[in-house]
């Protein structure tokens, strides 16, 4: 193989990478605060971009934004030399956190405030940042720390926190491939608190305009153009494996890595590749890359997998070299100590079917090194990068040379290979700015949406744009699932120019939209001459809450400056034919929203849309300081005005953000449920007195200024519709004893009505009527209604209450106990440990909970203001191990979702289910948010499961009849026992209700028992079971009682309504003959004690002589 002289290309590559200017566009920053953050650029506050569903962390696996605390920020333009990044970081964590290690030991860790940051063009958090506790300057102007004019010369450099300082951070290991450091305040400045202050302020001046000048010093200080150079000569890609072949110009340590192109942030640095890439030391010429299997270099546990071939080699390198020459070789085991006992070899090769988690028992005489070729995702557009380092001097390739090694390949796999339908893309709307366009679109399949803007002469028709041209422009966003709304931002445009925008969808497998589908996305739009302040947008279409005949579109936008926003909805056909409306048109015709709180998104709803028509929503926004307002706005009212800015519904609570026009203000909010039966109807608006009595209230003190408060309304009912209203008044402090409370100064009833906001609670609709099953029959729960149900959801039945909001608060008492479940004693003399008996709480594990959320809660004897629970700690048990679901139900009480039901039908048992009659709780788990493995996952109660049948007490009860009298059983203890049920008396037998006669010649039940032991049907009017009217002529004794109930009633969804109704079909009564196999008479119902004589044999007497019988044996 011919080596390449890198010296011929080095200058050209450097020029290409370093001096080609970036287009004018926004820059992406990824920031992870522990736990809260405000970010400023040159004094202007920026807010997270919520349009990015997946984080670009240079990895090979998808990390969803919603699963982490990482925020994505998009600046209005690229950062340049001298720009100021300012960060206000605070933590809500306790100062000390208990963490359980792998050995089960509880270790206390200080919890300092911290932050980590990376930018796509090189910026990374290191000790080059400055961090301090000073929020504003001591000058006459009180200059805020985020302003350029603030003097930070006296601030200390940031402290790079050790990587193992805070094990609760980065649970998904999202930062493993980024060289940025967690930074915070220097512990040397902490006084009396091992964790330090709970808030800090950081500043950083951008040092350059290029990737090389922005990278931290430690990333570039050993970079040299004279370092060894590496080229990725060949990449062999299959569905699950990659083989990388490289060439170096001289001996070097080589590091190669794989990045999924969909999650790529930027070119990795040498140090980053060295930390996570495939290492190959002292390389000469070409080689393959291998990576250690497992967490350690050496192990005594070999992989349990048969060998393809075995060899006796001199060292690990020879074993890897042999594997490299065999295409099917995917992994190897090398005996660093000892040899294979049977063959005497020390190199074992394995194919790609091996499972690294299956290990043989630890060897006492051998130690191994396990290696594999790099494993990559099943669906990826992969970027391969490499770097080389001089093994003596440590000089390594610079970022330009690393960028030149990049090779991109696509793997062969896909998640939906069986689908050949081209992905469809649909425009939903967007916004237009001076130098950019934001397109909100949706694709039919998971993958990516690409969009491009091409300058278009005014008056000319549409121009056909091919998929490859759109992809080449590079403006895209990632759709993790089909139907997901995305925003694609196209940058680098010129002001006041007409552009044609076109989009295409690419499925994960590489399939592109057909040209006719691409053509349907073409839109003409003009960039603006003035600033538009929209940063991101989300558009959803759903069924109207007010009238199910129509649809509604909800637009949620994020803006960068105070002012106004206008949005309007248009038929899609109009947008295709007439183009996107310009700013002045939107301001004249659009729905206006006032933006005076940048912390909150702006939400606009367009209702009453025809279900069969496609619509688009287009918006614009501009800055305004409101100084020229002449209308009667909030500021001119004599009392505080409340506006509900957002309402985020959960399963049992709503989180509200409410703006108040002035303070000190006392705000009251409450949620009022809609009526469902007999028709859906909104509740009447509440008056002042009713709202002022709400327990959900708080006070805002801002010395007369406006502000925003948040509050939670709970508990509410899942799946329900609520109207939320708020009322605000000037705060009235409690009057002195004996004094009269001053009159209210607050909103009137018309103001209250203006605050109304409808919310649809998440999850299944709670049904107060519940569901019905019958013991001895199959049991299913059908027609579950609600919002966003899915077949991944799960349902469990409990004999006690669902967990609901009963959960540990994470708050510790003065003895630093109760934050999490622990058996530690509450005795203040016990400070740690639960291993000794007298240090355990005799009642078990406990923690502090929110008052009113747990059924067993009690006030702490030591801290009366705190509420604790023992029950909450039982919810951590695994469902599969039992103890969570109701006894008698299979699978730990979990039901099986019925295929094709979209999570609306569950089967607890398809065979007769024998459990006591009672009311059980049905507890629901969202399978897309949780693994549904422990009891605490099943928080949401959707209603009762009424199990018709004998109670557990009845199953152990003795009921009495007398020989010679009709047998009538009263006071039967059951639940939901319906007309048509029956009892049967059977011989006392270990088989119980499964008793069968020995042969067909035998009677089907108890001889001489009326109707062979089967009772008349039960009537709720008489509430008794009668075995006919004839006297009972049988032997005295004890018999088994078995119960049969008619099948459960069937229900259906009321036409046009959101509730269930019985379908009117009355189930037939139980049969009057018991089948030989038990039929439906399978549920134990106690014992029947028949009082009367028992048979004792034959007595002989003579005529004319005294006849004496022995004692009569009897029962009872």
Give the pLDDT score at 1110: 58
Give the pLDDT score at 13: 27
Read off the pLDDT band of 15 (50, 70, 90): very low
Separation between Cα atoms, residue 1044 and residue 914, nearest integer Å? 11
Answer whether residue 761 shows pLDDT above 60. yes
Q: What would the DSSP string read from start to end of 343-387?
A: T---EEEE-TT--TT-BPPPPSS-EEEEEEPPB--SS-EEEEEEE
Which tokens sit at 851? Answer: 């008052």
Q: Are 105 and 209 in contact (CB under 8 A)?
A: no
Least confident of 11-20, 156-165, 371-380, 546-555: 11-20
The CATH fold assigned to 635-734+741-761 is Immunoglobulin-like (2.60.40)
Answer whether residue 373 shows pLDDT above 90. no
3-state SS, one letter per residue, for 928-980:
CCCCCCEHHHCCEEEEEEEEEEECCCHHHCEEEEECCCCCEEECCCEECCCCC
Measured from the Cβ of residue 103, the count of other Cβ atoms closer than 10 Å reads 6
Q: Are 90 and 36 in contact (CB under 8 A)?
A: yes
Q: Are 76 and 47 in contact (CB under 8 A)?
A: no
Average pLDDT for the chain:
86
Domain spans of the chain, in order of start:
11-220, 230-410, 425-623, 635-734+741-761, 767-806+875-949, 952-1093
Measured from the Cβ of residue 1079, the count of other Cβ atoms closer than 10 Å reads 17
User: Closest Cα partner for 264 from 124, 392, 120?
Assistant: 120
Answer whether residue 8 shows pLDDT above 60. no
The owner of tokens 């290492």 is 279
Q: What is the DSSP letter of 804?
A: T
Read off the pLDDT band of 103 (50, 70, 90): low
Measured from the Cβ of residue 998, the count of other Cβ atoms closer than 10 Å reads 6
Q: Are 545 and 1058 in contact (CB under 8 A)?
A: no
* CA distance readout (Å), 418 to 413, 414, 421, 761: 11, 9, 9, 36
Helix, strand or coil for residue 1050?
Answer: coil
Answer whether residue 628 shows pLDDT above 90. no
Which tokens sit at 73? Answer: 């920020």
Separation between Cα atoms, residue 659 and residue 670, nearest integer Å? 15
Q: Are 807 and 846 in contact (CB under 8 A)?
A: no
Separation between Cα atoms, residue 228 and residue 252, nearest integer Å? 6
- 767-806+875-949 matches 425-623 in CATH topology: yes
Rounded to whole angstroms, the maximal C-alpha distance in the chain is 140
Q: What is the pTM of this model?
A: 0.51
Helix, strand or coil for residue 992?
Answer: helix
Answer whether residue 4 shows pLDDT above 60. no
Q: What is the DSSP letter of 459?
A: T
Q: Is the dihedral of CA 569, 570, 571, 577 positive or negative?
A: negative
Q: Residues 1017-1042: pLDDT tens digits?
A: 998 877 889 998 889 988 888 999 99
The CATH fold assigned to 767-806+875-949 is Immunoglobulin-like (2.60.40)
* CA distance readout (Å), 529 to 87, 566, 584, 622, 860: 32, 17, 11, 12, 65
Q: Stretch 608-621: mean pLDDT, rounded?
A: 94
Q: Residues 112-123: pLDDT tens digits?
A: 999 999 999 999
Higher pLDDT, 547 or 626: 547
Reported as half-sphere exposure (CB side, CA atoms, 13 A), residue 1097 has a value of: 5
Contact residues for 627 (Cβ-Cβ < 8 A; gap 6+): none
Q: Residues 870-912: pLDDT tens digits?
A: 999 999 888 888 788 999 999 989 999 998 888 999 999 999 9
Which tokens sit at 1015? Answer: 């009772």
Q: Helix H segments across 20-78?
A: none
Q: Residues 383-407: pLDDT tens digits?
A: 667 778 888 888 999 988 888 888 7
CATH node for 425-623: 2.60.40.4070
* CA distance readout (Å), 386 to 229, 244, 400: 9, 10, 11
Answer whether residue 249 shows pLDDT above 90. no
The owner of tokens 């310009």 is 582
User: Closest Cα partner for 93 from 811, 611, 740?
Assistant: 811
Q: Residues 468-477: pLDDT tens digits?
A: 999 999 898 8
User: Closest Cα partner for 645 from 557, 534, 718?
Assistant: 557
569: preceding bond cis by omega (within 30 degrees): no
């Amino acid at each position: 193989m011919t080596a390449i002289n890198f010296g011929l290309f080095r200058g050209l590559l450097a020029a290409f990478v370093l001096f080609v200017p970036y287009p004018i566009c926004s820059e992406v920053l990824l920031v992870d605060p522990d736990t809260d953050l405000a970010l400023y650029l040159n004094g202007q506050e920026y807010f997270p971009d919520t349009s990015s569903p997946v984080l670009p962390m240079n990895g090979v696996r998808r990390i969803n934004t919603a699963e982490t605390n990482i925020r994505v920020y998009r600046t209005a333009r690229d950062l340049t030399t001298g720009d100021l990044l300012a960060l206000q970081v605070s933590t809500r964590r306790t100062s000390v956190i208990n963490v359980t290690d792998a050995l089960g030991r509880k270790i206390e860790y200080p919890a300092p405030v911290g932050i980590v940051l990376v930018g796509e063009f090189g910026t990374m958090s290191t000790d080059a940042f400055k961090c301090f506790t000073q929020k504003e300057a001591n000058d006459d102007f009180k200059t805020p720390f985020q302003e350029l004019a603030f003097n930070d010369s006296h601030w200390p450099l940031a402290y790079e926190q050790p990587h193992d300082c805070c094990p609760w951070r980065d649970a998904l290991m999202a930062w493993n491939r980024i060289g940025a450091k967690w930074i915070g305040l220097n512990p040397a400045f902490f006084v009396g608190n091992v964790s330090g202050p709970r808030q800090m302020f950081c500043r950083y001046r951008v040092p350059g305009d290029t990737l090389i000048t922005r990278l931290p010093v430690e990333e570039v200080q050993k970079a040299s153009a004279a370092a060894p150079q590496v080229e990725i000569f060949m990449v062999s890609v299959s569905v699950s494996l990659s083989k990388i072949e490289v060439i170096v110009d001289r001996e070097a340590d080589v590091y190669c890595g794989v990045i999924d192109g969909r999650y790529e942030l930027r070119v990795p640095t040498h140090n980053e590749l060295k930390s996570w890439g495939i290492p190959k030391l002292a390389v000469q010429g070409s080689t393959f890359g291998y990576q250690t299997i497992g967490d350690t270099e050496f192990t005594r546990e070999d992989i349990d997998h048969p060998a393809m071939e075995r060899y006796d080699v001199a060292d690990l390198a020879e074993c890897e070299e042999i594997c490299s020459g065999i295409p099917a070789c995917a992994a190897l085991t090398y005996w660093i100590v000892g040899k294979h006992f049977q063959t005497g070899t020390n190199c074992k090769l394995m194919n790609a079917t091996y499972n690294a988690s299956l290990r043989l028992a630890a060897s006492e005489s051998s130690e191994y090194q396990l290696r594999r070729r790099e494993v990559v995702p099943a669906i990826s557009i992969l970027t391969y990068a490499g770097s080389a380092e001089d093994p003596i001097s440590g000089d390594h390739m610079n970022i330009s040379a690393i960028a030149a090694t990049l090779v991109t390949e696509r793997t062969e796999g896909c998640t939906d290979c069986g689908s050949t339908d081209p992905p469809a893309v649909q425009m939903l709307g967007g916004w237009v700015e001076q130098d950019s366009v934001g397109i909100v679109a949706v694709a039919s399949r998971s993958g990516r949406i690409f969009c491009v803007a091409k300058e278009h002469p005014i008056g000319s028709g549409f121009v056909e744009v091919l998929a490859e041209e759109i992809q080449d422009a590079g403006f895209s966003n990632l759709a993790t699932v089909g139907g997901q709304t995305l925003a694609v931002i196209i940058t680098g445009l010129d002001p006041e120019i007409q552009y044609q925008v076109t989009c295409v969808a690419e499925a994960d497998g590489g399939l592109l939209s057909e040209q006719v589908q691409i053509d349907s996305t073409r839109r003409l739009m003009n960039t603006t001459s003035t600033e538009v302040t929209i940063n991101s947008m989300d558009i959803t279409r759903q069924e109207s809450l007010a009238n199910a005949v129509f649809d509604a579109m909800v637009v949620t936008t994020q803006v960068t400056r105070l002012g106004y926003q206008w949005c309007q909805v248009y038929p899609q056909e109009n947008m295709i034919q007439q183009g996107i409306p310009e700013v002045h048109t939107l301001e004249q015709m659009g729905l206006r929203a006032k933006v005076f709180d940048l912390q909150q998104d702006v939400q606009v709803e367009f209702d009453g849309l025809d279900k069969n028509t496609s619509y688009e929503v287009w918006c614009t926004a501009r800055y305004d300081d409101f100084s020229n307002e002449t209308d009667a706005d909030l500021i001119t009212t004599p009392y505080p005005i409340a506006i509900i800015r957002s309402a985020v519904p959960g399963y049992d609570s709503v989180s509200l953000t409410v703006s108040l026009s002035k303070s000190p203000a006392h705000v009251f909010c409450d949620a009022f449920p809609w009526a469902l039966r007999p028709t859906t109807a909104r509740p009447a608006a509440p008056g002042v007195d009713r709202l002022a009595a709400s327990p959900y209230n708080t006070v805002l003190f801002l010395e007369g200024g406006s502000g925003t408060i948040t509050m939670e309304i709970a508990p509410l009912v899942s799946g329900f519709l609520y109207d939320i209203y708020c009322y605000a008044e000037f705060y009235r402090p409690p009057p002195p004893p004996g004094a009269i409370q001053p009159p209210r100064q607050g909103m009137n009833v018309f103001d209250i009505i203006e605050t109304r906001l409808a919310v649809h609670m998440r999850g299944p609709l709670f049904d107060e009527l519940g569901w019905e099953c019958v013991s001895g029959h199959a049991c299913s729960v059908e027609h579950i209604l609600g919002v966003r149900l899915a077949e991944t959801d799960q349902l469990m039945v409990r004999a006690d209450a669902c967990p609901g909001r009963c959960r540990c608060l994470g708050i510790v008492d003065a003895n630093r106990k109760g934050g999490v479940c622990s058996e530690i004693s509450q005795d203040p003399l016990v400070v740690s440990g639960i291993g000794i008996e007298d240090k355990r709480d005799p009642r078990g594990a406990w923690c502090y909970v929110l008052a009113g959320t747990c059924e067993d809660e009690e006030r702490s004897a030591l801290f009366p203001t705190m509420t604790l629970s023992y029950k909450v700690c039982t919810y951590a048990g695994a469902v599969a191990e039992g103890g969570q679901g109701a006894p008698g139900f299979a699978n730990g009480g979990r039901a099986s979702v019925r295929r094709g039901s979209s999570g609306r039908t569950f089967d607890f048992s398809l065979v007769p289910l024998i459990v006591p009659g009672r009311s059980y709780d049905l507890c629901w788990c969202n399978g897309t948010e949780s693994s549904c493995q422990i009891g605490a996952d099943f928080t949401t109660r959707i209603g009762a499961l009424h199990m018709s049948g004998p109670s557990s007490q009845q199953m152990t009860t003795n009921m009495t009849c007398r020989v010679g009298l009709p047998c009538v059983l009263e006071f039967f203890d059951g639940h939901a026992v319906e007309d048509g049920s029956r009892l049967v008396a059977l011989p006392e037998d270990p088989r119980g209700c499964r008793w069968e006669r020995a042969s067909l010649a035998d009677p089907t039940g108890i001889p001489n028992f009326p109707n062979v032991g089967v009772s008349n049907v039960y009537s709720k009017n008489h509430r008794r079971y009668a075995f006919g009217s004839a006297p009972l002529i049988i032997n005295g004794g004890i018999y088994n009682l078995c119960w049969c109930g008619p099948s459960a009633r069937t229900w259906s969804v009321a036409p046009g309504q959101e509730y269930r109704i019985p379908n009117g079909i009355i189930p037939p009564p139980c049969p009057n003959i018991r089948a030989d196999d038990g039929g439906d008479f399978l549920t134990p119902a106690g014992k029947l004690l028949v009082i009367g004589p028992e048979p004792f044999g034959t007595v002989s007497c003579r005529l004319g002589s005294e006849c004496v019988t022995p004692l009569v044996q009897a029962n009872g």
